[in-house]
Amino acid sequence: MAELDHCTFDIMMISETWRAENEEIYVTPAGGQIFLSGDGHHQGVGICISATLGKLLHDCSFHAYSNRVCTLNFTLSMRKFCVFSCYFPTTWHNDEDVEEIYHVLDTLLLACDESGIIPLLGGDFNACIGGTFIQYGAPTLETILFSESFPRNGIFIVQWTHR
């Protein structure tokens, strides 16, 4: 984890952390902060804050909702932020597993909106919305939703972003 001190970033969302504990927090030798979520399986998400940015943050609080969604709330320059790190199930999982993560994000984003908190969302959505349609130009919403060959997780993310 000390390698993060040699990387250039402010905020980094990570997935596939493979952590055994539900919530873990580490501080690197240079003062960077690593917030991790897991449950002993092969998923897990996290958020890393550089030492430089960390010095500017106030009221930091980390919450692991699952091994697939975690948040870090903080205040920066008198504005409240909520960073989301998510890791969506692959297309091998049931649709219900994917929809559950979107439901969690919907709930959390609504809470941000109602509280005036600025959300920052990142992670691995395991979704493809390009593929074979790129040769015919940018895919339209209709092309995606009514195509039998379009990846299911791509359809989920497009529907979610159009709500």
Could you give the strand order of the β-sheet that contains 79-87, starting from the edge strand earlier in sequence? 58-64, 69-76, 79-87, 118-124
Residues 112-146 as b/e (b if ≥16 CB within 10 A, e otherwise) read beeeebeebbbbbbbbebeeebeeeeebeeeebee
Q: What is the pLDDT of residue 134?
A: 47
Predicted local distance difference test score (pLDDT) of residue 133: 46
- What mean pLDDT comes out for the span 77-82? 96
Closest CA to 92 of 155, 163, 151: 151
Confidence (pLDDT) at 98: 78
**pLDDT-derived band at 152, boundaries 50, 70, 90:** low
DSSP H or E segment with residue 53: helix 51-54
**Res 80: pLDDT:** 97
Query: What separation in angstroms does the CA of 2 have from each of 29, 35, 51?
Result: 6, 14, 12
pLDDT of residue 136: 53
* For the chain, domain boundaries: 2-92+121-126
